[in-house]
Amino acid sequence: MNQMFQKSLNDRHKLEVVYVDSRNIMTQRIVRIVKIYDNRILVFCYKKKKVRSLKKENILAIHPVQLNNFEMEA
């Protein structure tokens, strides 16, 4: 997972994250990694349009966002 965070940070690629928040609510977000810490990652959340801090231990799943044809041509 840390390698995917680092690659996303370096390449500025979006990731889709499934995350359990502090109230035990599961959320699914499209994010871009801003900074990586030992136990947390700082991300820009496209849903909230804000920078958020996520605990690594609360991330249930993560994968790269697939680009559609419009984004590939831009």
CATH of the domain at 33: 2.30.30.100
The span from the CA of 40 to the CA of 37, in Å, is 5
| Residues 8-49: tens digit of each pLDDT | 999 999 999 999 988 999 999 999 999 999 999 999 999 999
How many structural domains does the chain have?
1
| Residues 47-57: tens digit of each pLDDT | 999 999 999 99
| Domain region containing 58 | 2-73
The span from the CA of 34 to the CA of 10, in Å, is 10
